[in-house]
Structure 1
């Protein structure tokens, strides 16, 4: 159809609005309440245009075009109407632009300037009228500056899915408010401080509460980069001033996992650590029990000499290396290359061994590729979503919001988790099974699908193998039998099976609740069986989708920071592959598979004499803290390369100061296999260097030449040695992320895997029998402890515990206890409690409620003063070598003497000092 705007004809599509057609043709129409990321309501009337056909003034954002429509965007009537709109808004608005946080970045200010409104002709109302809400650590709400555009309300309802804001009152008393007129951080507020409302606000009604200095929008240097927290890989804008990150803004890019500028509280506010005074600034060598600052030259000479001596005395396999899911792809590539080409060992690993090793093994066995099969953007296209062993709204909040949005728009949701999580509350079917019974539950669901004839026979015949042996096992898992094992009612199992089996497009999402078990690989294989049985893999909005826990755990695996594969998952045991890398790297490589992370700690002081840890904190993250302590102390030589003197670094002989993500160039690969750029926004403190620079300098000192002028050159080498990254270059990534496999420069990247066939040929069924956890609750240790993450903190707390607003908001550890158990033990909410396992004892605070079932406990592992992993046991999956962090038998008791957090921290500080002395 043809639409005439300002006497010029333009092509338009049916359903488009006047505003959309005008924008796509470069015609300016001012807006306030409109956003391309939100539904349009046409409430502000700023986008009024005139229809020549009937002389009507209409809101262009909500008026669809018609063939032959004639529109005027700047007639006298339109201009006068817009002036009146601005005039009315100014009459009800404070005129304190000079001190307003939004000065220079305010739509109302811009419009007042454009239309020459110096003061309102309607007079000015007496201000202030409303109370400012700023009792939290993150966001201030000033209703007097609100112009009632409703963008914050719609953002919270349509993107974040929290409903934390809405309009209250009527007439001149109308305002935007959290529930019950509380602060955003009030006890009844569902706000999770994602900050998206601030980004959408066109005035200074919603602003960030500064924690590291103030600044105007126009003063900031703006750098687009990738979030350093979970595996979603949100694109963010770092706003810096005087070499400090002051704010984190939204990036709106369709070719990203957060196209609407979404973030979570960590991504938005967890950046004080970058400029924290605790940052390491100089290399340190421990002499007589004390760390001394030294030059880079001295430190690297010392490290090179020690490693060469240990290798000469005990052999190459006496040295192990831990790479890092926090570091870039380029740095992980250099680390594994350093260990293989310089040291001469394959004993290199990283924290994927603790979170998703069973995913890599299980998906690799069944499909041929150990990665998330589908993309984040496909979530809303699924007919059924099955979430098991994952708490996305806390651990992967942007994905959690997308699942909530899909549910709101008609997608059915099944959630299986021992705890009651947020998604459990909105799920069509919520299954609370006993910890460690995942295989039985999934087998039970498949039993019903088979018996109801809901399996995809054509898919099974054409694209799978191993069905005959698999089906024999499934026959024994009747709903009644599975109910006895799992504690889930049989009718719920049947209902879930029918819902999943009847769906045209069903997707599975899981995380560490599935993987961190002795039988974690079997858990993953059960899920691959379910997808193969129903034909839900190799198609859009389906698949088996592991949600990666850290920003670059996927990339670290991809580029070879694993003990059995080179970059691109090429086996070190394959002579042809090994010869290829020998030619690329110009060195003879060992044919022995290396030790995994967990095996290195078992062999510390025995086979392993020296350990090089880059960006990991195993003292807090690994199971059985006392065992880790003994392992670190038993080493002949320990090097830790990090941004802080972490709990692990305090055991080191040499500490090397590294650059944070905000201080270097590189790439991260997110959970959906999307490779994205990381860009330098600020300078590193003191003499800290990027990890790749440190490693290359050390390699050169040890006699192996590594010459790279930039991380982009390292990525070029990765592209040469791995087909998965074959088409990746910094030049291409400037336009947005690319998903592997991307084999050549003309390839657009791969949205979902296994479209035309599996990497291994055919998808394979694996018959998996249920086996109970190795260690279960008994008379002495009568509770089952589960560990995991929470919304406000991350991993070992190295970053978030040093981010002021986050740590102030959530300063204390806790253990979740069912209200029935609490009553029996005389424990009240916030009481001090003691948890004991065969591995150790920890004290923390009680959080009494109904999130966990009777007999179960849940504890986050972020807090050094209450380290959950002091309790966990060293039971390992035999295939993946991942520890069983989700099931630890413990006993619980009330501590009569209440200890303040300050006393605990002081005690920890003195313990740390004594350790150094």
Structure 2
């Protein structure tokens, strides 16, 4: 239980040495090349890349060291006191130039082809960094060397995102290190020997047929264009570069948009604190969704006499048959004015709003303020209700905060990484790289999940427990820690409450008793529990496999208890981290986009908080918590006699007609509303049921902040304008507010965004007090809590006390609660739903991205090979999956990591909408639906969807495959 020393806090020793006659200072262990770069001194280099292990194989960076016979690669050689180094000596320059000339002589005649530049610039940049260094050192290739050029290698354009041109490969090994050491995907390697050696993918497969996950790290690493994005072939010139943050998952990768002709033509990873240049396939190749021709560009109003058809699927009917174009004034009057009429007629409880975790903090804050001050109720929610609501409920109860204790890449200090209910290689791919890096360094990964996912290849132990038995398994571990005397007594005595109740409750949960229930051998449960308790630093990270159950809050309570009784929290490499899903679900929750909390998790029924916000917003506020996502759907279909019956809704950037459980009921509810206003960038399934559709802005088309899973507030910048008459979301929200009778007038920097942010900062009650708009513009990312301008932020919290009233963690015992719906003779299989690597949430963005759609174009159900054999189907066949609520016909994918008796369906596909099947039963504390467990039956055959996708890659594509 000893706290490890954080290397980042050590004071680095310095070393003085001479470089080209100038005395410079380097840090102990720093290489000559890095020290030179820090001091603005250029030494040519090709195989070296910041952040990567130095390889020293290109020899372009050699320097002369006084007293040494041979030249030394500066990328590998550390400076020592008094060393005299010459990078520009005659001997060093001659060698550097010779290396560049020989490499350049083997290049193809056409490389990057920087079209649009002058001939001189084209020549300088023809082969990327190689040409750039050659031009700077005035290197030209002698004709006799060109005559010895190697045999031409054919191009590989089999991958939808990347092109391979090994003619331009200099075997610098950067792509190999990128793939094997940074991203740890182990796809790229070397084959053959000597002069015949070459870069290969897997077993010399075409890139498009390999196991490549299209993270693009190799493309970003390649210095010559041997690997490059297909979208940049023919021209590398861009009009401008704009720094921002990725709009997909909650990792919060910092990115740079490359803009040409008012289009984002490529994306690069930035050296941000969460990603350090790394990206996944969505962040690097999924941004062209914003240029999809299906973008909404005009306000739309439902045509008179056109009924709302809840059975209508996107793609079966052109939306122009349903809606007519309107002016902004007409649409806003019908939207805002219509909502106000309903409120005036029926009272404050009849309206509700769903905000978005895909937008900015400022939009989330203003949206919840609109609902509370304009609609007059707390009926406001967003997709946190569908992902980590139960985790937050347990965290607020136990540790007093709804956010993480440590940041993702703090696992570099972990000796054990406990991953449970998470598939990080698919859902948080960049975060997964830090786990894989840690495993390569010797950290032990324990994977606990009903499915054996990709990360299991790197795990020390994989505990593939039976679905729905989380509490049984975790309680068995807690039992072991207590029974075997592994409790951190000092921590428990001084920093926790309720330990005796936990100890008493756990008595019936021995590993031997729980093994038959959870399916994990007792000796394995004990082994993992001992390792967790006795290792130097253990960190728990979890996903929606923990939260999306009727016992989701209890699952998280067990995790809190496990880290607390072992003292594995409040220090580097130890703690609790619920991996947040959406890019701004953390920030939207912080900003108060939830029905029971004002900003910064201040309860609406707390008299002190209620009084403060009434004064702050200068308006009376409802004292009663509002309804959550699923509850709102039930209140829409309530009888007219119910005073809380909801009759009007404003939905901004959410798609409940795809994301809610039991979609037949949810769609019926949405179609039953007197007025539904939808604000989005595409005609989503929810928008098809609307009365008014307002065209909004995508993330790269506006300025705003987002808060990632690591508690980092980060700045997103505008790269291009919205298309047509589409407007920024913040502007639309204010226009609705105006028609609700609110007198808002946000002005100033970035069209009022900065002023809204500053108001939110005040409402957050010191949590982000030190993170001003000006500071974010300068620093891009700041971690909270951050109490003052001088405060650097706290990456690790709970090191001295918890955020509870008494500063102690509250240990809450949990007992086994079965799923709401168990398999039986009629419905013998268990359905688990979730996301895929390529597609995000309901797919409205990612399925309109060309590369993502090409890689993963259709819905599939994953099932074990033995279950397939028993059912009499093969991969690619169609089966029908049916629950008590609905059914889908879907193609089969073999996955032996999915246990027998269980199937997995991603919920991004409207053609086979998984949520037609799911159960709307709720966790009583977090009010989250049970997406991770319901009973289904399977049958061979079925009618495949007549339309597949959104025609992103082939507009004429109508039929998926012939059904069996």
Name the counterpart of 1:76. 90
1:778-828: CA deviation from partner (whole Å, max 9, x where unpaired): 000010010011111110000110001111111111111111111111011
Which one of 846, 859, 863 corresponds to residue 817 of structure 1? 863
Deviation for aligned residue 1:104: 6.0
Distance 2:722 2:809 in 1: 47
| 1:237 counterpart = 2:256 | yes
Question: Does 329-338 or 596-605 show the bigger shift?
Answer: 596-605
Distance 2:502 2:949 in 1: 56
Q: For residues 125 and 899 of structure 1, do their structure 2 counterparts lie closer, same or farther at Cα, with a shift above 3 Å needed?
A: farther
* Superposition pairs of residues 721-732 of structure 1, within 5 angstroms: 721-722=763-764, 723-732=766-775
Question: Does 93-102 or 129-138 show the bigger shift?
Answer: 93-102
| 1:31 counterpart = 2:45 | yes
Name the counterpart of 2:290. 274
Which one of 495, 498, 501 corresponds to residue 527 of structure 2? 495
1:379-423: CA deviation from partner (whole Å, max 9, x where unpaired): 111011110100011100011111011011011111110011012
| 1:180 counterpart = 2:229 | no
Which one of 164, 169, 172 corresponds to residue 141 of structure 1? 164
Which one of 776, 780, 784 corresponds to residue 733 of structure 1? 776
Question: Does 702-711 or 265-274 show the bigger shift?
Answer: 702-711
Name the counterpart of 2:697. 659
Distance 1:227 1:884 in 2: 29
Deviation for aligned residue 1:744: 2.5
Which one of 306, 314, 317 corresponds to residue 346 of structure 2? 314
Name the counterpart of 1:166. 189
Name the counterpart of 1:218. 237
| 1:264 counterpart = 2:264 | no
Distance 2:883 2:289 in 1: 33
Name the counterpart of 1:248. 267
* Superposition pairs of residues 111-122 of structure 1, within 5 angstroms: 111-120=133-142, 121-122=144-145
| 1:696 counterpart = 2:734 | yes
Which one of 885, 902, 913 corresponds to residue 867 of structure 1? 913
Distance 2:880 2:591 in 1: 42
Distance 2:46 2:335 in 1: 60
Name the counterpart of 1:803. 849
| 1:629 counterpart = 2:667 | yes
| 1:834 counterpart = 2:880 | yes
| 1:154 counterpart = 2:177 | yes
| 1:646 counterpart = 2:684 | yes
Structure 1 SS opposite 2:203: helix
* Superposition pairs of residues 405-444 of structure 1, within 5 angstroms: 405-444=437-476
Structure 2 SS opposite 1:99: coil
Distance 2:64 2:883 in 1: 74
Structure 2 SS opposite 1:181: coil
Name the counterpart of 1:106. 128
Q: For residues 613 and 899 of structure 1, do their structure 2 counterparts lie closer, same or farther at Cα, with a shift above 3 Å needed?
A: closer
* Kept after mapping to 1: 8 A contact 2:188/2:201: yes
Question: Does 696-705 or 621-630 show the bigger shift?
Answer: 696-705
* Kept after mapping to 2: 8 A contact 1:818/1:853: yes
Distance 1:144 1:903 in 2: 37
Question: Does 374-383 or 456-465 show the bigger shift?
Answer: 374-383
1:670-728: CA deviation from partner (whole Å, max 9, x where unpaired): 00111101110011011111111111122123221111122111111111111212222
Q: For residues 225 and 547 of structure 1, do their structure 2 counterparts lie closer, same or farther at Cα, with a shift above 3 Å needed?
A: same
Structure 2 SS opposite 1:703: coil
Distance 2:946 2:366 in 1: 45
* Kept after mapping to 2: 8 A contact 1:865/1:904: no
1:453-495: CA deviation from partner (whole Å, max 9, x where unpaired): 1110100000000001111111211111111111111111111
Distance 1:538 1:658 in 2: 42
Deviation for aligned residue 1:12: 3.5
| 1:192 counterpart = 2:238 | no
Deviation for aligned residue 1:880: 1.0
Q: For residues 872 and 98 of structure 1, do their structure 2 counterparts lie closer, same or farther at Cα, with a shift above 3 Å needed?
A: closer
Q: For residues 54 and 836 of structure 1, do their structure 2 counterparts lie closer, same or farther at Cα, with a shift above 3 Å needed?
A: closer
Name the counterpart of 2:795. 751
Distance 1:218 1:52 in 2: 42
1:754-789: CA deviation from partner (whole Å, max 9, x where unpaired): 121000021011111112212110000010010011
* Kept after mapping to 2: 8 A contact 1:385/1:507: yes
* Kept after mapping to 2: 8 A contact 1:351/1:616: yes
Deviation for aligned residue 1:160: 0.3
Name the counterpart of 2:325. 293
1:185-233: CA deviation from partner (whole Å, max 9, x where unpaired): 32xx3321111111111111001012xx767443241111111111000
Q: For residues 878 and 899 of structure 1, do their structure 2 counterparts lie closer, same or farther at Cα, with a shift above 3 Å needed?
A: closer
Distance 2:83 2:340 in 1: 79
Deviation for aligned residue 1:426: 2.2
Name the counterpart of 1:914. none
* Kept after mapping to 2: 8 A contact 1:105/1:218: no
Question: Does 3-12 or 576-585 show the bigger shift?
Answer: 3-12
* Kept after mapping to 1: 8 A contact 2:112/2:127: no
Deviation for aligned residue 1:664: 0.2
* Kept after mapping to 2: 8 A contact 1:382/1:506: yes
* Kept after mapping to 2: 8 A contact 1:447/1:475: yes
Structure 1 SS opposite 2:780: coil
Structure 2 SS opposite 1:707: coil
Deviation for aligned residue 1:863: 0.4
TM-score, normalised to structure 1, is 0.96
Q: For residues 896 and 882 of structure 1, do their structure 2 counterparts lie closer, same or farther at Cα, with a shift above 3 Å needed?
A: closer
Distance 2:282 2:527 in 1: 37
Distance 1:11 1:381 in 2: 28
Name the counterpart of 2:590. 558
Name the counterpart of 1:512. 544
Structure 1 SS opposite 2:167: helix
| 1:395 counterpart = 2:439 | no
Which one of 44, 56, 61 corresponds to residue 47 of structure 1? 61
* Kept after mapping to 1: 8 A contact 2:241/2:259: yes
* Kept after mapping to 1: 8 A contact 2:858/2:949: no
Name the counterpart of 2:6. none
Question: Does 860-869 or 741-750 show the bigger shift?
Answer: 741-750
- What residue ranges of structure 1 are gaps of 5+ in the alignment? 912-917
Distance 2:869 2:753 in 1: 57
Structure 1 SS opposite 2:904: strand
Q: For residues 398 and 224 of structure 1, do their structure 2 counterparts lie closer, same or farther at Cα, with a shift above 3 Å needed?
A: same
- What residue ranges of structure 2 are gaps of 5+ in the alignment? 1-14, 116-121, 307-321, 639-644, 959-964
Structure 2 SS opposite 1:613: strand
* Superposition pairs of residues 456-605 of structure 1, within 5 angstroms: 456-605=488-637
Structure 2 SS opposite 1:772: coil
* Kept after mapping to 2: 8 A contact 1:604/1:635: yes
Structure 2 SS opposite 1:180: coil
| 1:341 counterpart = 2:373 | yes
Question: Does 478-487 or 550-559 show the bigger shift?
Answer: 478-487
Distance 2:298 2:253 in 1: 31
Distance 1:57 1:643 in 2: 58
| 1:203 counterpart = 2:217 | no
Structure 1 SS opposite 2:178: helix
Deviation for aligned residue 1:904: 12
Q: For residues 381 and 272 of structure 1, do their structure 2 counterparts lie closer, same or farther at Cα, with a shift above 3 Å needed?
A: same
Question: Does 99-108 or 272-281 show the bigger shift?
Answer: 99-108
Name the counterpart of 1:769. 815
* Kept after mapping to 1: 8 A contact 2:858/2:948: no
1:525-575: CA deviation from partner (whole Å, max 9, x where unpaired): 011011111111111211111001110000110000010111111111122
Deviation for aligned residue 1:659: 0.3
Structure 2 SS opposite 1:237: strand
Q: For residues 903 and 6 of structure 1, do their structure 2 counterparts lie closer, same or farther at Cα, with a shift above 3 Å needed?
A: closer
Q: For residues 142 and 559 of structure 1, do their structure 2 counterparts lie closer, same or farther at Cα, with a shift above 3 Å needed?
A: same
